[in-house]
Chains A and B, each alone.
Chain A
C-alpha cells in the first residue's frame, strides 16, 4: 500500500524503480540476521500501538471499570459497553450536549481550509518556479523562513483585522465589517475567519513543498507550450496542475489532518459554541469539565481521531509523494 516502489512519481531525476533488483537496505539486511529485524519491527509496532489501544479499550469499558482499574485488566475481565459512545454522540446524563454538531463543524472547517491554501500555494509556487523574476529566489527563501513565525503571536493582530478592519493610513487593506450600530462583526459566527487564518498559516510550508515539486517538472514541456503561444494561465491549468496531483494530494492530506487536529486557531476565531467550534474544542472542554469521567473522555477522543485515521489510511499512498519531491535525488 503505502509507498510501493512502482507508485513513485516518475520525476525527471528519479529513476523508475520497477526493475530494481534489490534496494540497499535489502542487501544490508541480509547481513543483519533477518529474524532479529522482524522481531524488532514487531516489537516497535506493538509499542507504538499500545497507547492508542489503551484509549480504545478504555472507551469501551463501563464507567466503574474504567475509573478504578487499568485498561489492561480488561483482558481478565472483559466487559464491553457502547453506552459511552452513545452518550458522547447524542449527549446523556453526564454530558448534556453531544459531539455531533462539532463533528460537522470540523468538516466544514477542514475541507475548505485544506483547499484554499493549496490552490494559492500552487499558483505562487508556479510563479516562483516558472515565471522567474528578479527577486524570485529571495522571495522563495523568505517564504520558507516565515515558517518560524510562532502562530500564537499572529492571533491577536488577525482578530483585530477581522473585527475592526485594517488600513494603511487612508488606504483600506481589509474592510471594517461591523454593521453600523452593532458590536458584532459580519464574520462572527461564520467559518470565514477560520478559513482565512488556517490558509495564512499553511502557506509557507505549502508553497515550499509544492514549489519543490513544480520546479522539477520538465523544462522542455513548459518551453514547448510557451512557444505554442500558451499563456501562463493555460500552462498552469493544462500542464502544471495535472502533473502536480501527487504533491497536491499529499499536501491536502497533511493540511486536512493539521486543521482537523488544531485547537488554538479554533479557540481564537470560533470560540467554543456549537455553531462553529470543531471537535477538538469540544474535547478540550469535556476533558476540562469531566476530568474524572475517563470512559467518556476516551470515547470522545476516539471519535475525534477516527476521521483523521480513515483519511490517513484511505489516502496514505498519496501522502509521501509530494513530500518527497525536491528532497529525493538520484
Chain B
C-alpha cells in the first residue's frame, strides 16, 4: 500500500497553506467551465501528438512560429488548446499544489487544463469508478499489481510510443517492466521512494561515538553495542488504519532481496517460490532476530507486541530523544520528524538522517527496494496522450523535483536538482544507480488478496499474537489466488 505511506508523508509537508482553501473555493465553478470547454474541442482534429510526439518529447528544439515566448519546450504537446484532462490520484494536498506548480507552464503554453483530484480511498475508488463508467482520463497507480488487475478488466489504454521512448531512455529497465502488462506498455513511472533506509539521530550517534555501519555485520555489532549502552537499538510501528501491517512486509522484502538477489525475489513475487519454502522461512528468521528480538525493540514504546499497536507515523518518536537507536523506514519518513519536534531538520547534522541498509553478501551488490506510482491513461484523446508523455519527460520530473520533497528515478533529472545532502538526493543516487539491484515493493506486486490482504494481516498477527512462523507462512500461501 505505497499510496497510503507516501500520501501520509507528503501531506505532512508544510507550506502551500492558503492555496488549498482557494482551490476549495473555486473548485465547483472550475469544473463546469472546463467540462464544457472540453466538449467543444474534443471533436477537433488535433494531430500534434501524432506528428511530433514520437521523437524527443521532452525536446528542446525550437518549434518557432506563433508560439508564445518560453513555450518552446512544449512544442511537442501543442494543438490541444481548450481541452481538459483530469487526473485522479492518492496524493493529497498540500502536495497537490506542488504538482500544479510544476505543470503550470505546460498548461499555459498548451492550453490543456489539468484538473487534479485526490482521494485517500484511491485504491477502492478507482476500480469502482472504472466499473461505474466514470473513469478518470489519467490515474496515478501506486501498485503494479493494481495496474495488472485493471488491465485484465479492460480499463487502461496502452501508452503512446512517445511515452514509451522516454521510459526506455531514462529509467532502469525494471521500472518499465512494472508498467508493462502482458508485453504491452501502459504506464510510465512518476515519483519514487527509496525504502532501503535506516533512520538515526546524528546527534545521538555522535554523543555515543557510534559510526554509521556500512556492512551487515557492523549493523549488528552496533545494535549489540547499543544494547550494552542501555539503548533499544530498534523501533517500529505497524498500525496504519486499513493498511496495518505493511511496514513488516517491507522488512521481509529487504531481507529477501539481500539474501537471495533479484531473480529469487521475482520468483517469490510470482509465487514460483512459495512462502513456505525454506528461503522465505530463513528470511523470516532473520527478521525475527531483528525486529522481534526482545533485546532490540521497541525503543520508546515497550515490548515486541507494541510494534503491532504503534502507528507507523509515531514509530520514530524515540529517535531524536535517544530512546531508540534506529528505524528502518522509507525515504518519505523525512516528512515525519517535525511531528515530534517542530524545529526538526533532516540532514547529516540534523535531528535525523538516514543511512543505506547494508547489503548482506557481495554476491548481490547494493539491493534497493523501492516504490512509486505509475501514470496510466483511460482515454486516448490527443490531449490525454500529450499530458501522459509530458509526465514522463525529464522536463517535468526536473521541475517537480526542484520544488523539493519528491524523488524521481528518471535519470534525466540532474542530481543537483535536489537540495544538497537531502534525503531526496540520497534516494535519487541509489534509485538511478545502474549498478544496484532495484526491485519494487513485493507486496505491491503480489495479488491484492495477498499483498493488500493476508500478508498484512498475518505479519501483524506474527507481531501482535506471536503466531508461529510456520502458521503465518502457511496461511499466506493459502490466500494466494488459485488461478
Asked if A and B touch directly (CB within 8 angstroms), the answer is yes
8 A-B pairs with the lowest CB-CB distances in the bound complex, closest first:
A97-B20, A159-B132, A274-B24, A164-B133, A163-B133, A96-B20, A289-B11, A272-B119
Q: A91-B21, A98-B21 are in contact. Are A155 and B128 (CB under 8 A)?
A: yes
- Across the interface, A164 reaches (CB within 8 A) one of B8, B19, B132, namely B132
**Interface-located stretch among B25-33, B57-65, B280-288:** B25-33
A91 to B124, CA, bound (A): 27
Say whether A182 contacts B38, CB under 8 Å: yes
Within the complex, which residue of A94, A155, A163, A289 is in contact with B134, where a contact is CB–CB below 8 Å? A163
Does B475 reach chain A (CB closer than 8 Å)? no
Tell whether A160 is near chain B: CB-to-CB under 8 Å. Answer: yes
User: Contacts A97-B21, A181-B42, A289-B7 known; A272 to B379 CB distance under 8 Å?
Assistant: no
A133-157 contacts to B, CB under 8 A, are 155-156
The answer to the question of B17 belonging to the interface, with a C-beta cut-off of 8 Å to chain A, is: yes
Produce 1/0 per residue, A36-69, CB < 8 A to B. Answer: 0000000000000000000000000000000000
Mask of B288-316 contacts with A, CB within 8 angstroms, 1/0: 00000000000000000000000101100
Q: Which segment, of A2-10, A183-191, A250-258, A321-329, faces chain B? A: A183-191
Residues of A within 8 A of B361 (CB): none
- Does B131 lie within 8 Å of A275, measured CB to CB? no
User: B42 contacts which chain A residues (CB < 8 A)?
Assistant: 181-182
**Interface residue A90 (Cβ < 8 Å from any Cβ of B):** yes
- Which residues of chain A are near B25, meaning CB under 8 Å? 101
Contact status A90-B21, CB under 8 Å: yes
- With an 8 A cutoff between CB atoms, is A34 at the interface? no
Q: In the complex, identify which listed stretch (A204-212, A217-225, A290-298, A304-312) lies at the interface while the others stay far away.
A: A290-298
Q: Which of A155, A160, A271, A292 contacts B339 (CB 8 A)?
A: A292
Q: Which of B108-150 contact A (CB under 8 A)?
A: 117-121, 124-125, 128-129, 131-137
Task: Point out the residue from B16, B20, B120, B124 that lies within 8 Å of A288, measured CB to CB.
Answer: B120
Q: Which residues does A use to contact B, with CB under 8 Å?
A: 90-94, 96-98, 100-101, 155-156, 159-160, 162-164, 178-185, 188-189, 267-268, 271-275, 284-285, 288-293
CB distance from B344 to the nearest CB of A (A): 13
Residues of B within 8 A of A93 (CB): 14, 17
| Structural contact, B132 and A156, CB atoms closer than 8 A | yes
Contact indicator A290/B12 (Cβ below 8 Å): yes
CB-CB contacts below 8 Å: B13-62 with A: 14-21, 23-25, 27-28, 31-32, 35, 38-39, 42-43
Cβ of B4 < 8 Å from any Cβ of A?
yes
Q: Which of B24, B314, B339 has the most CB of A within 10 A?
A: B24
B90 to chain A, nearest CB (A): 10
Are B133 and A285 closer than 8 Å at their CB atoms? no
Contacts of A271 in B (CB 8 A): 117, 119, 125
A271 CA to B121 CA, complexed, in Å: 8
Report B-chain residues with C-beta under 8 Å of the C-beta of A272.
Answer: 92, 118-121
Interface residues of B (CB under 8 A from A): 4, 7-8, 11-12, 14-21, 23-25, 27-28, 31-32, 35, 38-39, 42-43, 86, 92-94, 97, 117-121, 124-125, 128-129, 131-137, 241, 311, 313-314, 339, 378-379
Residues of the A chain whose Cβ atoms lie less than 8 Å from the Cβ of B124: 267
Choose among B32, B97, B119, B132 the residue with the greatest number of A CB atoms under 10 Å from its CB. B132
Instruction: Report A-chain residues with C-beta under 8 Å of the C-beta of B311.
Output: 291-292
* Residues A275 and B134 in contact, CB atoms below 8 Å apart: no
> Given A100-B21, A156-B132, A179-B35, 16 more contacts at CB 8 Å?
A94-B14, A96-B21, A100-B24, A155-B128, A159-B131, A160-B133, A163-B134, A182-B38, A183-B134, A185-B133, A185-B134, A274-B24, A284-B120, A285-B92, A289-B92, A291-B313
Given A96-B94, A274-B23, A288-B241, are A182 and B35 neighbors across the interface (CB < 8 Å)?
Answer: yes
* List of A residues within 8 angstroms of B132 by Cβ: 156, 159-160, 162-164
Complex contact A179–B121 (CB within 8 A): no
A320 to chain B, nearest CB (A): 36
8 examples of A-B residue contacts, CB within 8 angstroms: A91-B17, A100-B21, A159-B129, A179-B39, A182-B39, A185-B134, A267-B121, A274-B23
Report which of B18, B32, B129 forms a contact with A91, defined as CB distance below 8 A: B18
- Contact A156 B12, CB 8 Å, known A163-B133, A189-B31, A293-B339: no
User: Inside 8 A of A159's CB, which chain B residues have their CB?
Assistant: 128-129, 131-132, 134
Roughly how many angstroms separate A273 CA and B136 CA in the complex, as a whole number?
Answer: 14
Q: What is the CB-to-nearest-CB distance from B141 to chain A, in angstroms, rounded to a whole number? A: 17
Most buried by B among A93, A184, A293: A184
A292 cross-chain contacts in B, Cβ below 8 A: 311, 313-314, 339
Collect the chain A residues with CB atoms within 8 Å of residue B94's CB: 96
CA distance A178 to B27 in the complex (A): 20
A274, B11: Cα distance in complex, Å: 16
Q: Which of B11, B35, B135 touches A290 (beta carbons < 8 Å)?
A: B11
User: Are B125 and A267 closer than 8 Å at their CB atoms?
Assistant: yes
Whether B19 and A288, one on each chain, are in contact in the complex, defined by CB atoms closer than 8 angstroms, is no
Question: What residues of B have a CB within 8 angstroms of the CB of A184 in the complex?
Answer: 35, 86, 134
CB distance from B339 to the nearest CB of A (A): 5
Residues of chain A within 8 A (CB-CB) of B241 are 288
Q: Are A273 and B17 CB-contacts (below 8 A) given A290-B12, A291-B311? A: no
How many angstroms between the C-alpha atoms of A292 and B237 in the bound complex? 13
On chain B, the residues within 8 Å of A94 by CB distance are 12, 14
* Contact yes or no, A274 B27, CB < 8 A: yes
The residue on B at minimum CB distance from A164 is: B133
Distance in angstroms from A27 CB to nearest chain B CB is 50
Q: Is the CB of A275 within 8 A of B31?
A: yes
Bound together, the chains give a CA A155 to CA B124 distance in angstroms of 12
Most chain B beta carbons < 10 A, residue from A98, A272, A284: A272
Chain A min CB distance to B155 (Å): 12
Instruction: Find out whether the CB atom of B134 lies under 8 angstroms from the CB atom of A273.
Output: no
Q: Which residues of B contact A101 (CB under 8 A)?
A: 24-25
Q: Which of B28, B86, B97 contacts A275 (CB 8 A)?
A: B28
Distance in Å: Cβ of B113 to nearest Cβ of chain A: 13
The smallest C-beta distance from B112 to any residue of chain A, in angstroms, reads 15
Residues of A within 8 A of B339 (CB): 292-293
* Cα(A272)–Cα(B116), bound, Å: 12
Q: Please, which residues of chain A bring their CB within 8 A of the CB of B15?
A: 96
Bound: A220/B232 CA distance, A = 82
What separation, in Å, do the CA atoms of A285 and B8 have in the docked complex? 10
CA A19 – CA B16 in complex, angstroms? 66
Cα-based distance from A291 to B309 in the complex (angstroms):
13
Nearest CB on B from A112, distance (A) = 17
Q: For residue A156, which residues in chain B have a CB less than 8 angstroms away from its CB? A: 128, 131-132
* Given A160-B132, A292-B311; A181-B43 close (CB under 8 Å): yes
Q: Determine the distance from Cα of A272 to Cα of B7 in the docked complex, in whole angstroms.
A: 14
Interfacial chain B residues near A97, Cβ < 8 Å: 20-21, 23-24, 93
Chain B: minimal CB distance from A106 (Å): 14
Most chain B CB neighbours (cut-off 10 Å) among A163, A180, A182, A292 = A292
What chain A residues lie within 8 Å of B120 (beta carbons)?
272, 284-285, 288-289
